Chain A
Amino acid sequence: MDSKRPLLLQSPRTTNDQEFPTIPVFPELPKSKSSSSNTVTFSGVEYGQQVDHKTSSNSSTSSSKSAMSIHSMSSSKRNNSLNHSGSKKPVTVRYGSKGGGDSDGLTMSQRELRDEDARLVYINDPEKTNESFEFFGNSIRTAKYSILTFIPRNLFEQFRRVAYVYFLIIAILNQLPQLAVFGRYVSILPLAFVLFVTGVKDAFEDWRRHNSDKVENNRLASVLINDGSFVEKKWKDIRVGEIVKIKTNETIPCDIVLLSTSDPTGVAYVQTINLDGESNLKTRYAKQETGSKVQPRYTGLIKCEKPNRNIYGFMANMEIDGKKLSLGSTNIVLRGCELKNTSWALGVAVYCGRDTKAMLNSSGAPTKRSRLETRMNYEIIMLSSFLVALCTITSVCAAVWLKRHKDELNLLPYYRKLDFSKPKVDDYKYYGWGLEIFFTFLMSVIVYQVMIPIALYISIELVRVGQAYFMIEDHRLYDEATDSKFQCRALNINEDLGQIKYVFSDKTGTLTENKMEFQCASIWGVDYSSTKANIDGEQGEYSVQVDGKVLKPKMKVKVNPELLKLARSAVENEEGKRIYDFFLALATCNTIVPLVVDTPDSDVKLLDYQGESPDEQALAYAAAAYGFMLIERTSGHIVIDIHGKRLKFNVLGLHEFDSDRKRMSVILGYPDSSVKLFVKGADTTMFNVIDKSYNMDLIKSTETHLHSYSSLGLRTLVIGMKELNTSEFEEWHAAYEAASTAVFGRAALLKKISNNVESNVCILGASAIEDKLQQGVPEAIESLRAAGIKVWVLTGDKQETAISIGFSSKLLTRNMTQVIINSNNRVSCRKNLKDALERSRKLMSTFGVGNNDGAVANQIALIIDGGSLVHILDSEHEEELFQLASLCSVVLCCRVAPLQKAGIVSLVKNRTSDMTLAIGDGANDVSMIQMADVGVGISGQEGRQAVMSSDFAMGQFRFLVPLLLIHGHWNYQRLGYMILYNFYRNAVLVLVLFWYVLYTAFTLTTAINEWSSTLYSIIYSALPTIIVGILDKDLGRSTLLKFPQLYSAGQRDEAYNKKLFLLTMADTLWQSMVIFWPPLFAYWKSTIDVASIGDLWTIATVILVNLHLAMDVVRWYWVTHAVIWGSIVATFISVMIIDAIPQLPGYWAFFHVSSSGLFWALLLGIVIAALLPRLVVKFIYEYYFPSDIQISREAEKIKQYQRVAENGQIEMLPISDQQQHR
């Protein structure tokens, strides 16, 4: 979810966000909670309305012209900043399919809707609403087809594949009487078969969609009718403008703007799990003006933007009772969400049916094309030109032949150009020399059509499905903690996983668990580290009694006993007071919603802190553990249980987090009517607002603590407090009221106000939260690096934190030379970069010359921060950065913004041909994930936006090792071989056909009968390649993990490259000649007939291609045996069946020819002679020029023998042992 990251208050991750305003910033935050709802609790309705009157009059005076100018201003500002960040990198500005950024907090409130862009919704007046524009009703259709449209639309969809069109053209050509090479129906058969199978599959899927649509459309919802009562209505009948009532746990039928809820302040909680997969509750607000109406009689006009797919933004305003209110994304509840913890909510339907954001978002993931396939297309082009060459040769030869026999053609017994059966002597089927040649060309295209392996495309798809199945089902890719399987979201880039050269990783949530644990606190200059305390960790469990029931926080926190004791003691001294304030700040200064959850024990209830930021949750749980338990939060007040004493604080104002200020603050009204401001935020910005005059020592010691925390890899936050006196408060309050009801520039105004009030803050202390490394991360990184993959970590964290995580994850080692670029302005940045480049070059060269053993000491780690990247990525220094980075074995970028992450990925992607992979878990990784060749999403704590934009999704970073090293390797090897084999398989047949054409006066007679050549790619040889492509493994799992270096075979394109292609084609040529010529010589001057020799060629070809495959199979499963030998048997059976049909000219040919010894002698001779060169080359290559894969395969086999001999020794060395093999 977009909102999450920026809410991590302490987090400096979102540094420089102001540069990239298109990143959605905390839309979830109750920003437009505005005003009115807050005022109610504090100063009453009248005041709020007064302000609203003022604002509405303001807005009415502001002409539409000014509104437009503001709009254009804001958009031009956006463009500028986009250019700033993304200039010269055309692709950098890509967003999730959700178009995440369209209405961030800034622009949303500043922009005004233009009439022509708006949709007008008259509340509770669907007739008027739908009068001029017929909006879509609420019935949905996910089904693609109806019974009538199925055939044309489905065919249209299917023929969007170019291969099918080629197929079709060939079939159509064959229908022309002049060109009918094959029987009419035979030539349509393969295409018809494929179309039929796909059609049936589509129809079945669509039928299921129809059914689910029906269920969905017939669900019931309560709709307000004219007499003020509610009636049940089917979902599909709901119209825009109608008022819908939703009860708790009900699903929202369409996108509605909230009017009122059971909560007097207009709050509603919704769960968006169906929409974006996030299970935590989100708050939505009804406007006070509508919520306060007792009788649900609404008249008003909502002017909202046209339907769009941005689920995180909504822009509208509402005119009610003559007032104009601005609506934002917190006022709309989307279809598919569920209402929770709110007994009812009323809302007006604004988008229905297919206009709803949920439906607009139901399109598929972006499609990518794998590198192997891209390369394959090049070879396909080569094959096509080869095909054209064959056709040209055929037609030229035919032309020459016709020319030379020109005079004989008339009466030639086997040609008979003249037709004497007609009264007038005519030409019989002779269209003149030129046309005959043209027809010959077209006919040869038909005959040689299989040169382009159409079956290959279908086979590749099937193999990828099989590979995806194995990846999804792999136990090693299953995450117990989140109960999540591996997800294959993009089906067509499986094999890219085997060729990755660069991995770009996010840190938080990817390398680390993103399960925050409160570790240390520095309060009033004193360090209380829970780690220093007893390690067994006294798990602080604090509970309170409520109505005889025990209320406990859901999560236990390790506590420092000393601090706990101090916190429990009364507020006697200064120190105790500070501790009190500190924990009060932790408990209140957040956006956590406490939920009471039942446990099996009816006397015990758990308090679950729902929040969008894990850091805030950790802080709230920590506060609870120290006795400051957040019990209840509404928009107006907070109830805190402090050591058994319940205190109610009024929330007078809340300045939400933004990436500029990097802090948030809350203004609390104490029960004793004093007013205090609590602030928490990142140290960089907090020290700017701290009252320096107060206590320098305190600030100093806090800074020291902060530094030591962050070098431990902890995430730090600084907490501050300020007491507001009456005049200060009044001043702030007036400004705050005015700002939060302002129609234009609300966010900017609020920001200004918060900046004003957050000044001269008294420092309370600092907190440190540990984000634990995920299990297995150091080992995974080590494996990846041993596999020749460069791991770059891009994080928003501080440099110290990043470096310390780098060490703990073994990304950095002590003997690496660190090159740090950390500068704030362009000039120094350029200088730094140049120096670093020179230094690294020198380092590399001295060590390189010195001794080879120095390779390890030679490693350089580049650490660069976001501030420097701003200057570098933008300018001509990109190239230098790239050169520097390519010298380094580790690159660590800290404090980078999301778009910079994408910028770094594209820096590498555009300059090398190497494959890149980006892995991340949060919304801030989306742009990077989409930019990289392969995007991997971690389905962790941060919602699902990364997952939804990824190609593959999994639960843990360490799964990257099995994914790349095992599955990626297998996928690549399998598919690479399969493509080569398919080229070979089809080319052999085509060449055999071609050689025969040379002996038929170039007339394209085929000895192999039409049924056999059609069945060739369906029955005779299709299945083995698919099965082998899915199942064969060149190396076992354990070997691949033990020697990560084996992965580099994919990086070097070892399984599929031009050399291999040409070698294969040379082999193809030889094999086709061996198939063709021996029978020709053996049967020269004999009585052999077309069908018999055709059968011999058919069977020889099929046995040969299957044995060829068998020679390359590494692992023989029973399926492999079944399918390879089965195909040969099936061929024999098919040939027999075809030859048992008396209507075909070749009747009984097989039985006749196979009764002679010559047939079998030829068959044996062909197979052996054709495969001999291959065997020789394969053996010499494998034995004397062994690839790493070959050696490991032998080792695998030999070790297996040894193991058997030694009676079951431990088979594997753990991964860490690879050091010795380095």
Chain B
Amino acid sequence: MMDMSPVGGKEGQSPPNSKKTSKKPKYSRFSQQELPAWKPILTPGWVISTFTVIGIIFIPVGLASLFSSEKVEEAVFRYDDTCLPSSDADNAVAYIKSATTNKTCTHKWTVEHKMQAPIFIYYQLDNYYQNHRRYVKSRSDKQLWNKASESDTSNCSPEDKTKGNAPIVPCGLIAWSLFNDTYKFSMNNKDLTVNKKNIAWSSDRGSKFGPNVYPKNFQSGELIGGGKLDESIPLSEQEDLIVWMRTAALPTFRKLYGKIETDLEANNEIEIVIQNNYNTYEFGGKKNLVLSTTTWIGGKNPFLGMAYLVVGGLSLFCAIGFILLYVIKPRPLGDPSYLSWNRNPGILK
């Protein structure tokens, strides 16, 4: 370029000053692209052993997790329909909304297999989009932790302030829709203790929900969404709320209700008293009560084991297939006679 400035043209042409030093590029293995390198290639041996190893690892793991899943004892009771009195069957929404109807419901259950403590009690909601974007955003994490920012309710509308403009603690749709069914268990007319301590993550209790933040103006509006909170207990100890506020990822989810810390023997007769308060009738959501033991893969779920078995099986199948192919039709690696210009020389122009 004709750029007169010493900076030179845009294209980085060296300035036209007369440096007499050689412009020869300095040699380095890097600049000459000669750095030492590892050059793996997909040899049949390598590939076959990879597939074999995958198969060998995956099949036992799959079997192990299937086995664990089988070992999990799980009892599921759907009660949104069974707990609905037949007289109100056509009028479920009115029934559940009414403050006067009796919502207690009893269920008898015989334990089929022995369940070892701890037995986890979950409630399971179906068709409930806790991951709806309007819903997940409707909370104020600042307010939950810090008493000073209790008026920080900007994301919480319409459950942000009372009509008197007092901030609601905890604000937002999530807290407002707090699940409020309760369960009582008794065996042989003796109550089974349900431990509701430590059902929430300790991290949430310790750093997310403030020990000096107390519920305020909660569920005081015209429209009651769900459970109420004891205003004398700080949020850090409102474990049901903390569990509920961990919004579920999927539209069918369980949430921990409590733990039974005694073993249940087979054929034990358990009476479950359910307080059916939570309104899912309006949108056809199902409610289930789940009692389950746990193993290293969590609850009862054969999916992982099956998936591992399938993947492991396919890998072994591939390995065998490749071995056969290799035996029947091997190709010498790096044989120049396979080069396209060697295979059909006539094509060369």
What is the interface of chain A, defined by CB distance below 8 A to chain B? 140, 142, 181, 205, 208-209, 212-213, 215-216, 273-277, 311, 335-336, 357-365, 405, 408, 411-416, 418-423, 428-429, 469-470, 472-475, 478, 480, 483-485, 487, 489, 788, 852-853, 855, 889, 948, 999-1001, 1003-1005, 1007, 1031, 1033, 1037, 1043, 1045, 1078, 1080-1090, 1092-1094, 1114-1119, 1142-1145, 1147-1148, 1151-1152, 1156-1158, 1161-1162, 1165, 1168-1169, 1172, 1175-1176, 1178-1179, 1182-1184, 1186, 1188, 1191-1199, 1221-1222
Contacts and interface: CB of A to CB of B under 8 A. Distances in A.
Shortest 9 CB-CB contacts between residues of A and residues of B: A852-B346, A1194-B334, A1195-B334, A361-B2, A413-B177, A1148-B203, A1115-B37, A419-B158, A473-B31
B147 interface: no
A501 B185 CA distance: 83
A191 to B, nearest CB: 23
Contact of B282 (A275, A408, A472, A1152): A408
25 contacts: A362-B3, A413-B128, A414-B135, A416-B134, A420-B158, A421-B157, A470-B31, A472-B25, A475-B25, A855-B346, A1001-B129, A1001-B251, A1005-B133, A1078-B307, A1082-B304, A1085-B253, A1085-B254, A1086-B253, A1086-B301, A1088-B248, A1144-B141, A1158-B296, A1179-B42, A1194-B333, A1196-B334
B142 interface: yes
Interface hub of B7, B32, B297 (most chain A Cβ within 10 A): B7
A419 B157 contact: yes
Nearest to A1035: B39
A364 B9 contact: yes
Given A420-B223, A1090-B249, A1183-B331, A1045 B124 contact: no
A1162 B304 contact: yes
Interface stretch (B10-18, B82-90, B100-108, B232-240): B10-18
B151 interface: no
B247 A1191 contact: no
A1184 B331 contact: yes
B148 interface: no
A1089 B256 CA distance: 12
Contact of A364 (B10, B128, B201, B255): B10
B218 interface: no
A1221 B336 contact: yes
Nearest to A413: B177
B33 A1145 contact: no
A142 B10 CA distance: 11
Contact of A1142 (B9, B141, B163): B141
Interface in B98-129: 122, 124, 128-129
Nearest to A1093: B249
A625 B61 CA distance: 91
Contact of A1089 (B159, B208, B248, B283): B248
Contacts of A1001: 129, 132, 251
Contacts of A487: 11, 13
A1020 to B, nearest CB: 21
B165 to A, nearest CB: 10
Given A1087-B256, A1172-B315, A414 B129 contact: yes
B4 A335 contact: yes
Nearest to A1145: B141
B331 A1186 contact: yes
A1115 B32 contact: no
B139 interface: yes
Nearest to A205: B7
Contacts of B348: 855, 1222
A1195 B308 CA distance: 37
Interface stretch (B187-195, B268-276, B337-345): B337-345
Given A1087-B248, A1172-B315, A1000 B133 contact: yes
B259 interface: no
B323 interface: no
Contacts of B132: 414-415, 1000-1001, 1003, 1005
A1145 B247 CA distance: 9
Interface hub of A419, A1162, A1179 (most chain B Cβ within 10 A): A1179
Contacts of B208: 1142, 1147
Interface hub of A311, A1090, A1152 (most chain B Cβ within 10 A): A1090
Contact of A1148 (B10, B201, B336): B201
Nearest to B245: A1145
A1045 B349 CA distance: 11
B133 A1003 contact: yes
Nearest to B76: A1085
B131 A1087 contact: no
A250 to B, nearest CB: 14
A285 B315 CA distance: 85
A429 B173 CA distance: 13
A1085 B304 contact: no
Contact of A1179 (B38, B47, B141, B252): B47
B7 A362 contact: no
Interface hub of A1043, A1158, A1221 (most chain B Cβ within 10 A): A1158
B200 to A, nearest CB: 11
Interface string B306-333: 0110010011001000100100010101
B52 interface: no
B145 A1142 contact: yes
Given A414-B177, A1005-B131, A1191 B308 contact: no
B160 A1083 contact: no
A1175 B346 contact: no
Interface string B5-29: 1110111010010100011111100
A1183 B42 contact: yes
A413 B133 CA distance: 12
Interface hub of B4, B11, B18 (most chain A Cβ within 10 A): B4
B174 to A, nearest CB: 9
B181 interface: no
A1084 to B, nearest CB: 6
Given A1090-B136, A1115-B39, A142 B173 contact: no
A1095 to B, nearest CB: 11
A1088 B301 CA distance: 14
B44 A483 contact: no
Contacts of B63: none
Nearest to B165: A421
B334 A414 contact: no
Given A414-B130, A1116-B40, A483 B5 contact: no
A1196 B335 CA distance: 10
B199 to A, nearest CB: 10
A274 B139 CA distance: 68
B158 A1183 contact: no
A730 to B, nearest CB: 46
Nearest to B207: A1142
B314 A1083 contact: no
Given A364-B10, A1168-B315, 5 more contacts: A423-B163, A1003-B133, A1088-B250, A1090-B249, A1152-B201
A1087 B201 contact: no
B307 A1152 contact: no
B331 A1221 contact: no
A376 B290 CA distance: 54
B249 A1175 contact: no
Contacts of B10: 364
B204 interface: yes
Given A414-B128, A1000-B133, A1191 B38 contact: no
B2 A1083 contact: no
Interface string B34-48: 011111111010010
A142 B5 contact: yes
A756 B222 CA distance: 114
Contacts of A1162: 304
Given A212-B7, A411-B282, A1089-B247, A357 B136 contact: no
B161 interface: yes
Nearest to B157: A428
Contacts of B223: 411, 418, 420
